[in-house]
Amino acid sequence: MNAESHAAAMSASDDERCPFMPTYGPPAVTFVRGRGTELWDTEGRRYLDFLSGLAVVSLGHAHPAVAQAVAEQAATLVHVSNLYANVVAPDVARTLDRLVGGGGQIFFANSGAEANECAIKLARRYGGRGRHVVVSAYGSFHGRTLATLHATGQPAKHEAFQPLPEGFRHVAWHDLDALEASLDPTVAAVLLESVQGEGGVQPADTEYFAGVRRLCDERGILFMVDEVQTGLARTGEWFGFQHFDVRPDVVTIAKALGNGVPISACWARAEVAAAFRPGDHATTYGGGPLATAAARAVLATMESIDAPGLARRQGARLTDALAAIPGVTAVRGMGLLIAAELEAGEAPAVAAAALERGLIVNAVTPTALRLAPPLIVTDDEIDQAVTILTEVLA
């Protein structure tokens, strides 16, 4: 919502006033139902969702296995608090640990920001007093809580909320020399994404991540990887860091884990996780039966369909098709997290025009469109999306 519409809303009567705080712009469409890659609005119009609710519904909308798991769990047991155990969460924790690579422990939360908040607190607890700084990269995005906002390497997002919590430092993305120069004895951890999603879909590479791992080992610093957007098969591996043959100390996971049901996780090597003591960190809803039942169904389904393989195959098809569209100058990304760079700086207008024709993408920068369809996207749906973008860019 812009300043004018916000003012109009504030001057409206109670019945007319928007019931929500103006933290988002005015929504262009109201959706009422979804199935797979498709959504329908209140007028009955069909859309192709090539954003997956920002990489959340990786199995598609209304996936039957997830819907059934949630319905059965809701009719059985929804909440008991973390003072007691439930029978679902351990299954999900063990599966996530295996997919990350094993040897770790899990803390469940509700959102990506909360998973990163857990990682930041764990790094400070592990580093000890005086060793509390977390170094992240310019262009990164790690969340909207005060701590994760400061970890986010986008200074323009900081301005309205000063002073932010201390203990964060930013360096140029993909610059090992800059990172090394920032590592003084106050640093507890380096926090990076395997692909900077909000930064324009900018992937890391093997040399960079290997160099970060080496520097962290030399300095006794934790290497933490934010896989909130990239985790759970989105890039063509279970986690983005697995493309680079490194092993992080901490991994944060969120968006795809519940396929729309709020749940996130912070994984840490057992030695690192042991720094936490009872009372150091907690959450009311994290790891509850309902959300973990959804996550258990998501993980079982993803393994049964080889979700990383789907992301690789369909990602290659979509990448090739986008590169052939006149007006697209470059395509980058990994798996099914892709950015199409446009010849002219018109990505917001192109995204709006695509929406008018029934295709959901977003302008992740002024010149780039982000595409992240469900991993189950079909060849025909890719062809439909590419046809729409070709028409819009003609």
pLDDT in tens, 69-109: 999 999 999 999 999 999 999 999 999 999 999 999 999 99
CA distance 266 to 203: 22
CA distance 52 to 167: 34
What pTM was computed for the model? Answer: 0.95
Residues 121, 283 contacting (CB under 8 angstroms): no
Q: Express each pLDDT in 29-46 by its tens digit.
A: 999 999 999 999 999 999
121 labelled catalytic: no
User: Which amino acid belongs to residue 275?
Assistant: A
User: Which amino acid belongs to residue 334?
Assistant: M
Per-residue pLDDT at 131: 97
User: Which amino acid belongs to residue 374?
Assistant: P
For residue 376, pLDDT over 70 is answered with yes
What pLDDT band is residue 15 in, cutting at 50, 70 and 90?
A: low
Per-residue pLDDT at 78: 97
Residues 114, 286 contacting (CB under 8 angstroms): yes
Q: Express each pLDDT in 91-102 by its tens digit.
A: 999 999 999 999
CA distance 48 to 361: 9
Catalytic residue from among 107, 168, 226, 241: 226
Q: Express each pLDDT in 252-274 by its tens digit.
A: 999 999 999 999 999 999 999 99
Q: Express each pLDDT in 311-339 by its tens digit.
A: 999 999 999 999 999 999 999 999 999 99
For residue 3, pLDDT over 50 is answered with no
Beta strands in the chain (DSSP E): 31-35, 38-41, 46-49, 104-109, 133-137, 168-171, 187-193, 195-196, 202-203, 222-227, 250-253, 264-269, 328-334, 337-342, 359-360, 362-365, 368-371
Catalytic residue from among 108, 141, 168, 239: 141
CA distance 262 to 275: 26
| CA distances (Å), origin 279, targets 20, 110, 208 | 34, 18, 36
205 labelled catalytic: no
Other beta carbons within 10 angstroms of residue 306's beta carbon come to 13
Per-residue pLDDT at 186: 98
> 367 by DSSP, 3-state: which?
coil
Q: Express each pLDDT in 126-152 by its tens digit.
A: 999 999 999 999 999 999 999 999 999
Catalytic residue from among 50, 107, 249, 255: 255
255 labelled catalytic: yes
What pLDDT band is residue 13 in, cutting at 50, 70 and 90?
A: low
Per-residue pLDDT at 27: 84
What pLDDT band is residue 17 in, cutting at 50, 70 and 90?
A: confident
∠ at Cα 246 (240, 249), nearest 5°?
A: 90
CA distance 238 to 302: 10
